[in-house]
Amino acid sequence: MSGITGISLTMPSILGKIPRRRERPLNFLVVVSDDQCYRAIGYNNRVVKTPALDRLAGQGIIFDHAYVASPICVASRASLLTGLFPQQHGAIALDPTGFRKSVVEEKRYKTVAHLLAGAGYTTAFCGKSHLGEPRDYGFMLGEEHKDTTDNETFAFVAQFLDQRRGNPDPFFLWVAPRQPHLPLRPGPEWLDLYRDARLEVDPNFLESPPEGSIYNQGMPGQRFFRDTTVTGNYKNLPGGPPRTREMMLDYVRAYYAAVSRLDQQVGQLVAQLEASKLYGHTVIVFLSDNGYLLGNHGLGNKITMHEESVRIPMFIHWNGLSKKQVRCPALVSSLDLVPTVLDLTGVAKPGNLSGLSLAPLFAHPRRQLRKYVASECVGVGGTLGMGHRMVRTGRWKYVLTDVNDEALFDEGADPYEMNNVAGQESNRRTLSRLRRYMTEWMDRIGDTHERPPRTV
Ligand SMILES: [Ca+2]
């Protein structure tokens, strides 16, 4: 077990409750939900019923400004596992070929599973991979599950935890449920939870998207409207826009119901951890692979750089981390997962990681780790470079599209991103600064697209 030195000696405060140097390394349970908007969790939205997740989050640290490296499944999952942006690991949109080449075939990059296996961890995977056989990219146990109810995935978890009972060696378990991704099949008892709920669309709801490349979800002018077909126990909705408010609320009801069902499954998992005495020794990380546009700006799906698409629910919990809810406003990236896990295990970090360890925020949750966080979704039309990239500071967001349209949003005054203020004279200096951040980030990751203008 050499190389695992436990918690850094320099972290006081919240972590002070944890022994400074552990004889026994921590276990990790990472739960990656699919297409869960940051507002679709109880602690961010009182309408949404997620008691199990709220309980975990309520004794941990909630990251209120967490952004995915890419708001699309394949690219985001490859980024979560490697700690690299899509244009670095090569899976830029929905095609995993680049990741398979750089990680599986050429072994240029390691996943968190590779890194932890080298330090004595048993690594296991279950649920949605989207990147091929999990054993190909470093996991020792497990498999991909394609059951959209996630019953197979959580059955695997139950069996795995049962086998870990009494075993002092550490594990790293990656649980990737498919809910609340389409098709939504929560069952009538879960839909009933929201029968009398006062649901409402967001202020930026539109029946159809406006013109403009920042709304593209594929080739220019193309949009995905897959969320208009809901199958299973739920009635079919007619395809394509315009979608009325009533149609969208029907969808939202099924979406929240699927989130609640997932919450119950996570609750059962946590109960088993407690019963098997693994709970106090297991770090639980919860996050989603991307957000979801619930009719925001007339869109469904994700892919765009809007908050509903790139911002995710995310928290870290373990028994003893905190007795009360800690809300952290710092800008956080999904790329921070790998360095955080490595920091907490004492495993050396590869030098190429783009993310940062979140461990300093446990002690100082109001600290900022970075000036800006970035996200990209390029290649969704089948061509490298097609799509969007963004940089976001605490107050501002700058979006650059494939046809060099620019958007600047004042997130403080306009959290629903309804006013593009890039052209306003009073924002010239801000626009220049955000363009500089964008250029810096594009240079760092080797973005193939031309850089934004240098001056306003
Ligand atoms: Ca997804």
pLDDT in tens, 438-450: 999 999 999 989 9
pLDDT computed for residue 11 by the predictor: 39
Residue 93 contacts residue 377 (beta carbons within 8 Å)? yes
Using one digit for the tens of pLDDT, what is the confidence trace for 318-351? 887 778 889 999 999 999 999 999 999 999 999 9
**Separation of CA 5 and ligand 1 centre (Å):** 34
**Separation of CA 298 and ligand 1 centre (Å):** 19
**Amino acid of residue 311:** R
**Separation of CA 181 and ligand 1 centre (Å):** 7
**Separation of CA 353 and ligand 1 centre (Å):** 22
- H or E segment to which residue 337 belongs: helix 337-345
Residue holding tokens 């900022």? 368
| Calpha distance 391→400 (Å, rounded) | 9
What secondary structure letter does DSSP report for 336?
G
**Separation of CA 19 and ligand 1 centre (Å):** 37
| Range list of β-strands (E), 56-159 | 60-67, 122-127, 141-144
Q: Where are the domains of the chain?
A: 13-185+248-370, 374-445
Q: What is the per-residue burial (b if ≥16 Cβ within 10 Å, else e) of 45-68?
A: beebbbebbbbbbbbbbbbbbbbb
Q: What is the per-residue burial (b if ≥16 Cβ within 10 Å, else e) of 7-44?
A: bbeebeebbeebeeebeebbbbbbbbbbbbbbbbbbbb
**Separation of CA 307 and ligand 1 centre (Å):** 15
One CATH from 3.50.50.100, 3.10.20.600, 3.40.50.300, 3.30.1120.10 for 374-445: 3.30.1120.10
**Separation of CA 405 and ligand 1 centre (Å):** 26
**Separation of CA 288 and ligand 1 centre (Å):** 7
Using one digit for the tens of pLDDT, what is the confidence trace for 285-316? 999 999 999 999 988 889 999 999 999 999 99
**Separation of CA 66 and ligand 1 centre (Å):** 15
The angle, 0 to 180 degrees and rounded to 10, between the axes of the packed helices 151-164 and 245-275 is 20
Using one digit for the tens of pLDDT, what is the confidence trace for 362-414? 989 999 999 999 999 998 876 666 889 999 999 999 999 999 999 999 999 99
**Separation of CA 25 and ligand 1 centre (Å):** 31
One CATH from 1.25.40.80, 1.10.287.3510, 3.40.720.10, 3.65.10.10 for 13-185+248-370: 3.40.720.10
Which segments of the chain have a pLDDT < 50? 1-21, 228-238
Nearest to 30 by CA among 107, 139, 169: 139
**Separation of CA 334 and ligand 1 centre (Å):** 13
**Separation of CA 145 and ligand 1 centre (Å):** 15
**Amino acid of residue 440:** E
Partners of 389 in beta bridges: 376, 400
| Calpha distance 256→258 (Å, rounded) | 5
Nearest to 315 by CA among 361, 360, 284: 284
Instruction: Note the Cα 342 to chain centre separation in Å.
Output: 18
**Separation of CA 182 and ligand 1 centre (Å):** 10
Q: Average pLDDT, whole number, for the chain? A: 89
pLDDT computed for residue 184 by the predictor: 83
| Calpha distance 303→309 (Å, rounded) | 6
**Separation of CA 293 and ligand 1 centre (Å):** 12
